[in-house]
Amino acid sequence: MVRVSGTEGYGKTADALVEQYEGLTFEHVHRSTLSLLPTPTARALDIGAGTGRDAAALAARGYTVVASEPTAEMRANGQRLHATAAIEWNDDGLPDLAMVRARHAPFDLVMMTAVWMHLDAEQRMRAMPVVASLLRTDGVMTMSLRHGPVPEGRRMFDVSADETSALALGYGLTTLHRSQRTSVTLAVGVTWDILAFRKV
């Protein structure tokens, strides 16, 4: 199986990650940016949706939700765990998101939670105009960037909030929110940048 770049390590550990990812709540993970989200029934895209925790929470809040997850094992878990949630799942990934662009855009909300740092510099340059083009004017994009030790088998880069904000601005995405926090799972040495952008 050809793996989408950035997904390394997730297939083998997908079952073990269910407890960790589903043990967090949408409200807690996104507490810094909740007030910035558009109102339901806005159209939302969760890129790198993992086990579907956030996609399911968005669907329960009344959003129309598309979830994009290129790791088959993660996607299968998400579809099983949230079988009753109104989520349209796609086997699609960054930097191109060709299927999502062709079938589902535009969106009022794009979420990339713990995903962007899986892309290398060249892929980030390619992906930013793509995600910006998926958003409607006034649409919001949220993102988190992980810093710290890289889990075994994963492909991850230390991507700064400064770089990300500057890159986003070049495609009409202004920074609405920026903060830092320690790991909610208390992983040693792990910190996060939390970012939100609006398309102008």
Ligand X SMILES: C[S@@+](CC[C@H](N)C(=O)[O-])C[C@H]1O[C@@H](n2cnc3c(N)ncnc32)[C@H](O)[C@@H]1O
Sites of contact with ligand X (CB under 6 A): 4-7, 10, 21, 47-50, 53, 69-71, 74, 93-94, 113-115, 118
Q: How far is the CB of 119 from ligand X (least distance, A)?
A: 6
| Closer residue to ligand X (CB): 47 or 200 | 47
| Residues 6+ away with beta carbon under 8 Å from 144 | 112, 113, 114, 116, 192, 193, 194, 195
Identify the helix (H) or strand (E) that includes residue 192: strand 191-199
By beta-carbon proximity to ligand X, the closer residue of 12 and 170 is 12
Strands 64-68 and 43-47: parallel
Query: Least Å distance between CB 198 and ligand X?
Result: 21
Residue 131 belongs to what H/E stretch?
helix 121-134
Our CB check for ligand X shows the closer of 111 and 173 to be 111
- Minimum distance from CB of 169 to ligand X (Å)? 22
Query: Which lies closer to ligand X via its Cβ, residue 48 or residue 139?
Result: 48
The closest of 169, 173, 170 to 142, measured between CA atoms, is: 173
CB of 53 to ligand X, least distance (A): 5
The token pair that represents 48 in the structure block: 């790198």
